[in-house]
Each structure stands twice: as structure tokens, then as C-alpha cells.
Chain A
């Protein structure tokens, strides 16, 4: 058990270290997120009432798109320099390795979006409570995007036009996360109980954490054989 945990920690550390060496990649995701969110008021008009109502959906959809953007890099660098083949050949469980990569991907491309949310929420004139619930829902939901996305990234590894294809495969699967994530904020702003939405998001997160590493590992084996 300890060995598995150690392996997990080492994979996460390695991927984070690699990401820190190429900080531009991390920043592009965050900048993309901020930019897409800022485009919406320009597109639909500056009325604060409407913006306040739209904010959860806008931020969630932008987070969804931003995480798609970085998914292509999840396995491709390791694939290109041959590290991925060594990982597949390694005696350690591939599922644990994949889980480590998912966690690292979330820390690099999901967590910054959650931390950026309060600033963007203020731009959209959201109440403090709504911002809090939105952050909580993103905190629970963005790891699911990284996990489900990893399956798509593994399946489209090394394909022509993999990026667009990846979004086509993964976005429909992420719809429940989007619905419960924005639903929680909607319930909070209209004074209803939002805990059920968050519970469902938590349930999805547990389900995803239990199954997606294994599925993504199988997908990697299919793509690499």
C-alpha cells in the first residue's frame, strides 16, 4: 500500500516539476480561461443583471474549454520522448501512474482556474456566497474533467487533428458535471439548498476516481500497441 502511495507521489512530483520547468504552458491555460470569460460581456452586453445570472454558466463552460486545451499535452510529451513506453513496460501498476498524471494535470490546469474564479466572479457582479459555491463546485468538478479527459487524451494519442477530436469525444461526457456545477450556483443564488448538487458532483468525482484511471490505462495500452 505504501509503495503504491509512494509511486503516486513520485509521478505527481515528476509531472509538476516538468510543468514548472515550462511555465508558459501552465499560464496559457489560465490566460485562455480569463480571456474567454472576458469575451462574454463584450458579446452579450454589459447589463449587470444578465451578467450575474450568466456568470456560473460562462465560467463553467470556459473552464471546460480551458481544460480541453491542456488535455492534449497530458500524454503527448511523454509519448514523443519514449517515457510513456517505459511506463507501460514498468512493473508498477499503470493505473496508479495514470492517476498520478491526472492529479498533476488538475493541479496545473484545474486548480489555477478555481483560484482565479473570485476575481472573475467580481467582474460579473456575483454575490460573495455565489462565488463561494461556484468555487466549491469547480473544486469538485474540475478533477472530473481531468480524469474523463485523460481517457480521451489516451485514445487520441498521436492522431492527426487529435485536439479537435479530443474535444468532440470528451465534451459530451462532461455534460453532467456542467449541469450539477452550474445548478449548485443557481440554487444558491435563488436561496435554495445547493448541497444536493454538490453531493452529486462529489459522487461523480468518486466514481471517476474509481474507474477512469483503469479505463485510461487500457486506452493507453490500445494506443501504444
Chain B
């Protein structure tokens, strides 16, 4: 049986689908958060050099991975919306931005908390920290450009163009900052094996999955609000049980 995926590119069809999916993502995220926290804080051993302090990676690393990943997803949705003129893609892009910014902020915040005991300072002008900060600026630029244009279609298209320019610029910024200064420890998880203990790895991946599911759940519920707001004059919105009351 062929499924017509394009059916769900219409906000009318996507709204109820998102409503059905949210509880699944939310509940599995909560379960994985609980499991990941247990593995990370109770089961996993203390680190040989960093003691108990290292445990902040279980939130720090997933947050920074997602902050970068969500920017790409956001730019991809924005590009889809710009090229094919699909309203839902643009709505997804603007729903993703606040969550991405939140993860970038969490990554910086937990990084500062980790840096204090390990490097003896809250902040260093290191390549990765700086590029994460710039990523946060890019998110804020996207959000504020979108917010300051009244016409939603123009806002979508202008912000989409900015997101695409930004995503082209991200590697340039990353490498320029990297050559500028590097202090941050290198990646522990590489494709050619890892220097990490197996329980730590499990805890880390569980937390990553939990954060990812959380992001999906939150973005879907935000996109539902955006759909309602944009389509408030449409008949199908007025007929919704939660709107009609």
C-alpha cells in the first residue's frame, strides 16, 4: 500500500497527526531521561582524571550535538519552505529555532559549570565555546528577524534566506575559530573506536536519544500552536473541539 506522504504537508492534516504523535515522543523522552540519568549518575563509574565532575557531559554533550543538528534541520526546513513554497516547512523552521537556541544555551551554561572545576575558569575563548556562542547568535538573529516582520510569509522567506546563508557560513566560522584558538578536549567518540567506558557510552547515547525525543515533542507542540495562530481564520480551526469549546 502506498502511503501519500504529501497528505501530511497540509497544516490541516498535520495538526491532528502531530497531536497524536506528541504523547508518544513525550513519554518515551521522559522514560529515556530517567534511564539515562540513572545510568549516568548511579551506574557509570567516576572518571579516572576528572572524578565526579565529568558527569555533566551527560547533559552537556547531547545539548551541544542537538544545538548544531537542529540548526541544520531548521535550515533544511527553511530551504524547503523557500523553494517549494510549502507553508508547513516554514512553520517547522520557526518552531525549531527556540528549541535549538535553548540547547545552545544549555550547552554553554553546562560548559561553564564544567569549566570552572576542570579548567579553573567559567569561560575561555576556546574554539568550540566560541563557535557555540556564535551559533546561539545565529539562532537569535533568525528568531528576531522572523519576529520583526509582520507579514508571516515575508518573515518566513526572509528568515529562511538568513538560515541558509548562516548554514553555509557555519563551517567557515567553525574552522576560522578553530585555527584561531583551541583548548577544548578533542572528541572522545570517534568513528574509529572510542576511549570511553561502555556504561558511560550507554548513558550518553540514552541521554542523547532522550534530548532528541524531547526536541521532537516540543517542536511538534510548538508547530501546532503556530498552525492555530496562522490559520485562525480558517473554518477547520473554528470547528476544532479544543478551539470551539
Contact = CB atoms under 8 A, between A and B. Distances in A.
Contacts of B157: 222
Given A173-B166, A175-B134, A168 B158 contact: no
Given A156-B145, A159-B148, A179-B176, A172 B161 contact: no
Q: Residue among A172, A180, A218 with the most chain B CB within 10 A?
A: A172
Contacts of A175: 134, 173, 176-177
A168 B148 CA distance: 12
A135 interface: no
SS class of chain A's interface: helix, strand, loop or mixed?
helix
A223 interface: yes
A80 to B, nearest CB: 18
A204 interface: yes
A180 B176 contact: yes
A156 B173 CA distance: 23
Q: How large, as a class, is the contact surface on chain B?
A: 20 to 34
B158 A179 contact: no
Given A173-B166, A222-B158, A223-B154, A155 B176 contact: no
Contact of B162 (A155, A159, A161, A179): A155
Nearest to A203: B172
Give 5 nearest A-B pairs by CB, closest first: A176-B176, A172-B137, A222-B157, A169-B141, A179-B176
Interface in A177-225: 179-180, 183, 200, 204, 215, 218-219, 222-223, 225
Q: How large, as a class, is the contact surface on chain A?
A: 20 to 34
A204 B176 CA distance: 11
Contact of A173 (B169, B177, B179): B169
B141 A172 contact: yes
Interface string B124-167: 00000000001001101100110011000010011001100110
A130 interface: no
A225 B154 contact: yes
B158 A155 contact: yes
A172 B138 contact: yes
Contacts of B137: 168, 171-172
